[in-house]
Homo-oligomer: A and B are copies of this chain.
Amino acid sequence: MADETYEVSEIVDELLTKKRGIKEIIKEMKNVSELMVDLAYSAILFNNNDLAEEVKGLEEEMNKLRLQIEISAMLAARTSEDASKLSGIIRVAAAAESISNAAERIADTVLRDIELHPVLKEALEEAEETVERIIVTAKSGIDGMAIKDIRDNEKYAVDILCIKRGGKWIFDPKWDVKLKTEDMVIVTGFKENVEQFKDLVK
């Protein structure tokens, strides 16, 4: 109980210092929940523990975001009319977190080393789009490149979903963001393009 109170006050601190509005948090919850579903299915497809671990980490982030939404909504409500309109936001945040919980359960089958039936892998393999996790190295040729240049490159034509830099996530990175050595990048696109991109940056 003492622990929980401490956690909440930490989250309130973060809310106040970052000065993020409800809008930014709900946008992040939508992005993160959709990303988690992609990553979770990919974790099964590639039987990849790293991707599954990322999903687990994001699920913790989602718990925090949901609590921030609830606290922000309560602090923002001045009248009963306000409160009633804000209740929709609390519900959407709760649903977004349910999506992330389900994604975590999918990822969990990978982390628990449950041996999966080959049919499951086949079903996911036949999906048109795929997701991959790439680490930027000095030799990769994309170190220092802007997101825009990667997206517009004829050879790649992949989309950067997000970047993990020094333990922090950058979701939906702006087009002028430049990749740095040691960034972990989640790319998505048609299977052929993603494979090509992986080969090029190796």
Interface residues, chain A, CB within 8 Å of chain B? 21-24, 26-27, 30-31, 33-34, 37, 40-41, 44, 82, 84-89, 91-92, 94-96, 98-99, 101-103, 105-106, 109, 114-117, 119-120, 122-124, 126-128, 172
Contacts and interface: CB of A to CB of B under 8 A. Distances in A.
A115 B30 contact: no
Contact of A89 (B41, B103, B120, B126): B120
Contacts of A26: 119-120, 123
Contact of A91 (B82, B86, B105): B105
Q: Interface majority SS on A: helix, strand, loop or mixed?
A: helix
Given A91-B105, A95-B106, A98-B101, A117 B30 contact: no
A99 B37 contact: yes
Given A30-B127, A122-B23, A117 B102 contact: no
